[in-house]
């Protein structure tokens, strides 16, 4: 028997349907009631959003009134971190509840459903669907919300490709950055004329309605307005901006001064006390180095573009929150807002992601709604990996079929001072880990090189104390994951491996004496 929405993956969905039957039998036997008393979930993702959010204090000039209002009525985690500073492994980890070092998904490929051991895995939206929830999604939730063309197994008919993967019962617009100018607004970067490496004022008419994120928000608003009050739902909306290309209309740029006051704190010698292997995990990337943006007079423009896009996305979050309130569903709806990883805007000499410092791993994480104390700021370390078990806990769902590696944040949601069992742990490719406590950040690279920062006294991570604090390092090393799998089958894009002691970046060896490609 094949699900009528199947796009060629009948065997997979027969298995999924059997799992659903088992879940329903279990629920009936346990006395769990499916119905209006179950809290709804609105699940909002923001791509490449670092802590430049008003309530997080990451940038002194940023304006995000809607995110600040959401944090004020819920709990803000001020020390939350991704599991990987890259879209696909970060989002996959969050949605399946497993670390990248467990799955081996380190790069922009593969899609996890193409791996035999995970093709039947019950991901977060499936667990909600199996327990009586209507699941809906628009925009970017997974790295690709349909999955790769022709790959994997799943349900639903992809637009233009029936084999595209769908993870939700109902899928809305894909989103993205929307319209683009007839020619790039910035000069070609050292990587070449990469289409996404662009930023500036666009469209020129101050009309935001053609932007992909505006359309995602409009879809979410429409769905909330028509939602039945007796049918629990899990509605996901993923915003693309402030991911490059950072296009925003003039009204958002006008929120920020056109002078160097917008620039982050920098130190020219900031990489002098970091090991060469700290460069390996972002050896050659399309995102330009600080040197290029400065020499091409683009640093201020890039930062203002990022801030403008952040404020634009904040306004779209506000539209969804207003619709939720007007729908009468707010009191029974858990709102979760998260960013998939951080983003550098010149710090440590680079732009982009792919790092294990706070700027690359720290993300906004806000939860509000039933069961969550309002007006809290929690500085305990938290992980995006924690969201799956947290939502299962808050919504009273049964145990998941596979063991989740995250911890429920419910204790901190009830009391921000509640103890946390462990630090936040981020990885980027095999053997590279960042460990974050309330006071310390420890980084261990694949060659054994180390960094240590006192985040309480040096939040910019300017001074590497690894040579001076051996006792602290010994304690931090205890948290390095015991499971550390290399790249899964089909891995590609931003993948670093070590073969006979030689680092290999995307298939090309890095020689012992090779200079760091500072211009890229």
Cα gap 227→331, rounded to integer Å: 14
Q: CB of 154 within 8 A of CB of 190?
A: no
The residue among 222, 224, 184 whose CA lies nearest residue 202 is 184
Cα gap 196→213, rounded to integer Å: 16
Cα gap 492→506, rounded to integer Å: 7
Cα gap 154→30, rounded to integer Å: 29
Phi, psi of 313 (to 5 degrees): -65, -40
Q: CB of 75 within 8 A of CB of 373?
A: yes
Sole residue written with tokens 């050659």:
284
| Residues in contact with 288: Cβ distance below 8 Å, sequence separation at least 6, in sequence order | 189, 190, 191, 197, 351, 520
* Dihedral over alpha carbons 324, 325, 327, 328 (to 10 degrees): 120
* Secondary structure, 3-state, 239-272: ECCCCCCEEECHHHHCCCCCCHHHCCCCCCCCCC
Residue 421 has a CB neighbour count (10 Å cut-off) of 8
User: For residue 238, how many C-alpha atoms fall within 13 Å in the half-sphere facing its CB?
Assistant: 24
Q: CB of 44 within 8 A of CB of 336?
A: yes
**Which of 82, 87, 246, 309 is an active site residue?**
87
Phi and psi based region of residue 311 (left: phi greater than 0; alpha: psi -120 to 50; beta: remaining): alpha
**Which of 127, 143, 341, 428 is an active site residue?**
143
Q: Quick check: is 87 catalytic?
A: yes
| Residues in contact with 362: Cβ distance below 8 Å, sequence separation at least 6, in sequence order | 50, 51, 58, 79, 80, 81, 342
Can you read off the two tokens belonging to residue 378?
Answer: 């929690």
Q: Quick check: is 143 catalytic?
A: yes
Give ∠ CA 368-411-418 in degrees, rounded to 5. 115
State the DSSP string of 391-422. HHHHTTPPPPSS---S---HHHHH-TTS--SS
Can you read off the two tokens belonging to residue 433?
Answer: 């880990």
Q: CB of 47 within 8 A of CB of 358?
A: no
Name the helix (H) or strand (E) containing 71. Answer: helix 65-72
Strand partners for 351: 345
What are the catalytic residues?
A: 87, 143
């Amino acid at each position: 028997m094949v699900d009528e929405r199947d796009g060629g993956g009948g065997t997979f969905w027969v298995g999924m349907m059997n799992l659903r039957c088992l879940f329903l039998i279990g629920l009936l036997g346990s006395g769990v009631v499916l119905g209006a008393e179950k809290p709804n979930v609105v699940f909002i993702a923001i791509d490449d959003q670092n802590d430049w959010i008003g309530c997080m204090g990451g940038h002194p000039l940023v304006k995000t009134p809607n995110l600040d209002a959401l944090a004020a009525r819920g709990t803000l985690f001020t020390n939350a971190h991704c599991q990987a500073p890259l879209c696909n492994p970060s989002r996959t980890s969050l949605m399946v509840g497993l670390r990248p070092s467990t799955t081996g998904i380190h790069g922009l490929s593969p899609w996890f459903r193409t791996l035999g051991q995970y093709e039947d895995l019950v991901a977060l939206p499936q667990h909600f669907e199996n327990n009586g929830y209507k699941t809906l999604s628009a925009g970017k939730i997974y790295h690709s919300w349909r999955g790769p063309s022709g790959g994997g197994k799943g349900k639903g008919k992809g637009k233009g490709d029936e084999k595209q993967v769908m993870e939700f019962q109902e899928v809305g617009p894909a989103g993205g950055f929307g319209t683009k100018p007839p020619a790039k607004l910035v000069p070609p970067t050292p990587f070449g004329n990469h289409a996404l490496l662009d930023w500036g004022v666009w469209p020129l008419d101050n009309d935001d309605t053609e932007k992909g994120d505006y359309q995602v928000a409009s879809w979410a608003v429409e769905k909330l307005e028509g939602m039945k009050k007796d049918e629990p739902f899990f509605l996901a909306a993923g915003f693309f901006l402030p991911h490059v290309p950072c296009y925003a209309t003039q009204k958002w740029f006008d929120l920020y001064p056109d002078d160097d006051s917008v620039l982050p704190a920098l130190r020219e010698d900031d990489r002098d006390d970091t090991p060469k292997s700290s460069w390996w995990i972002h050896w050659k990337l399309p995102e330009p180095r600080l040197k290029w943006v400065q020499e091409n007079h683009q640093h201020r423009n890039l930062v203002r573009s990022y801030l403008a896009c952040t404020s634009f996305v904040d306004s779209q979050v506000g539209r969804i929150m207003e619709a939720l309130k007007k729908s009468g569903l707010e009191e029974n709806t858990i709102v979760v807002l998260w960013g998939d990883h951080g983003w550098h805007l010149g710090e440590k000499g680079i732009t982009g992601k792919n790092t294990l410092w706070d700027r690359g791993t720290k993300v906004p994480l806000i939860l509000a709604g039933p069961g969550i104390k309002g007006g809290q700021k929690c500085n305990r370390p938290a992980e995006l990996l924690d969201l799956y078990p947290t939502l299962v806990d808050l919504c009273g769902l049964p145990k998941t079929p596979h063991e989740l590696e995250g911890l429920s944040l419910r204790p901190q949601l009830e009391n921000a001072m509640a103890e946390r069992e462990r630090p936040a742990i981020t990885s980027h490719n095999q053997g590279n880990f960042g460990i974050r406590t309330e006071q310390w950040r420890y980084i261990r690279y694949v060659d054994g090189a180390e960094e240590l920062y006192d985040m309480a006294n040096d939040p910019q991570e300017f001074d590497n104390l690894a040579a001076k604090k051996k006792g602290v390092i010994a304690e931090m090393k205890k948290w390095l994951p015991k499971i550390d799998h290399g790249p899964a089958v089909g891995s590609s894009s931003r993948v670093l491996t070590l073969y006979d002691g030689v680092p290999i970046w995307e298939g090309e060896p890095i020689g012992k004496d090779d200079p760091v490609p500072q211009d890229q």
